Structure 1
Amino acid sequence: MTWTIAGSLQVENATDRPDLLAAPVAAALRRTPDASRIGIAEIDPTLADTAEFCAAYGSPLEASANCVVVAGKRAGEERFAACLVLATTRADVNGVVRRRLDVRKASFAPTDTAVELTGMEYGGITPVGLPDGWPLLIDQAVANAPELIIGSGIRGSKLLIPGEVLVKLAGAEVIDGLGR
């Protein structure tokens, strides 16, 4: 596949480079029918944060999507979801996400909790390979994107993926207005 958003990245098929993936991401890709449509590129892990990454590799910010883990409680039960929004927007955590999780208050999960539960590195958390049963809330703009750059589960690489592949992931729900 030819990636127009790759900038200076050297893109390979993600299934050919499990060494560049967090373990849960590699396992999920093995079960993903569209895995051949997902690319991966090795990057400098110190440049994993979106703005630094885009500046260093010439990838457009509007083609990057960020995955955040959100938590909330209801009747003593802690509920989690992953939210995927364009890097140019922010997830509406205390509106859209709070209502979807049916919790009184939602907030970003603490870093150590997100890392422990996902098995991924902070700064590399991705919607591919999330824990079973978690909703994956995807902003409509992400779902519509022909190509996106997202985390790979580690800080040393990025996945390149079409929005239409993301919406087929386990637990995926497309929500208009998730990103603001």
Structure 2
Amino acid sequence: MSPALDVRRPALAHAPLLADPVAAALQAWVHADGVGVAAIDPDLADTAAFVEAYGVASDASANCVVVGGRRDGVERIAACVVLATTRADVNGIVRRALDVRKASFLPMDRAVELTGMEYGGITPIGLPADWLLLVDEAVTLAGRVIVGSGLRRSKIEVPGADLARLPRATVVPGLGRPVG
């Protein structure tokens, strides 16, 4: 039997389940009342294990990945939010959005250091203010989606359309490419 996932708890009322930058961003975000949170087994935080263990549909689960590149010696970083049924088009759309020759996923330790979040729990809420935030249009149309909370031991649920209302968010059709 799958463990229960109860994301009806208001995220702001359960701040210990959120990474500090996420809790701080939610405090200032007008759409925070629509965000719920649930504790999960941290060993099941990775997407494939999570959707299987908790019975969440892959198209109702979103991933936030951090991508970077350099131009003229300056590092440029973007966070990309795509449905779990897809992968971010790093070498096409993301590379062009960053205006770099080559884009790649940030190394785990670097992503953790820069976000103040745990690897496997990085979320688009509470990211550094100077980063691009690219949200796949499919995420905005998916209804409520489950995404990281900044910690491996919990997940948040948020209307996908609200992710497009985050500071510096840009909705990008086709950002997520189907897996397979």
Instruction: Report whether the alignment pairs 1:65 with 2:62.
Output: yes
Q: For residue 177 of structure 1, give the secondary structure of its aligned residue in structure 2.
A: coil
Q: Which amino acid aligns with 2:37?
A: I
Secondary structure at 1:138's aligned position in 2? Answer: strand
Deviation at 1:62, TM superposition (A): 1.2
Deviation, 1:164, is 1.4
The answer to which structure has the higher strand fraction is 2
Say which SS state the counterpart of residue 131 (structure 1) adopts: coil
Percentage of identical aligned residues: 62
Q: CA RMSD in A?
A: 0.9
Aligned-partner residue type, residue 88 of structure 1: T
Aligned with 1:10 (options 6, 16, 23): 6
2:121 counterpart of 1:124: yes
Partner of 2:176: 179
CA–CA distance in structure 1, aligned partners of residues 63 and 97 of structure 2: 19
Name the aligned partner's letter for residue 19 of structure 2.
A
Structure 1 counterpart SS, 2:59 = helix
Which residue number in structure 1 is paired with residue 99 of structure 2?
Answer: 102
Structural mapping, 1:77-96, within 5 Å: 77-96=74-93
Unmatched tracts of structure 1, length 5 or more: 1-6
The answer to whether residue 33 in structure 2 is matched with residue 36 in structure 1 is yes
Aligned-residue offset at 1:130: 0.3
Give how far 1:143 is off.
Answer: 1.2
Contact 2:69 2:75 in 1 (8 A): yes
CA contact (8 A) 2:59 2:142 kept: no
TM-score, structure 2 length as denominator? Answer: 0.95
SS at match of 2:76: strand
Q: TM-score if structure 1 supplies the norm length?
A: 0.95
In structure 1, C-alpha distance between the alignment counterparts of 2:170 and 2:140, rounded to whole Å: 10
Pick from 152, 166, 169 the counterpart of residue 169 of structure 1.
Answer: 166
Quick one: which of 49, 52, 73 aligns to 2:49?
Answer: 52
Shift of 1:8: 2.3
CA distance in 2, matches of 1:38, 1:58: 20
Q: Over residues 51-93 of structure 1, what are the superposed CA-to-partner deviations in whole Å (9 max), with x where a residue is unaligned?
A: 1111111111111010000000000001100000010100000
Q: Which runs of 5+ in 2 are unaligned?
A: none
The correspondence of residues 13-24 of structure 1 with structure 2, limited to 5 A, is: 13-24=10-21
- CA deviation vs aligned residue, 1:108-164 (integer Å, no higher than 9, x gap): 001111000000000000000000111110001001111100000000000001011
State the number of aligned residues. Answer: 174
Letter in 2 for 1:128: I
Output the CA distance in 1 between the equivalents of 2:52 and 2:71. 41
CA distance in 1, matches of 2:87, 2:51: 17
Distance 1:99 1:62 in 2: 26
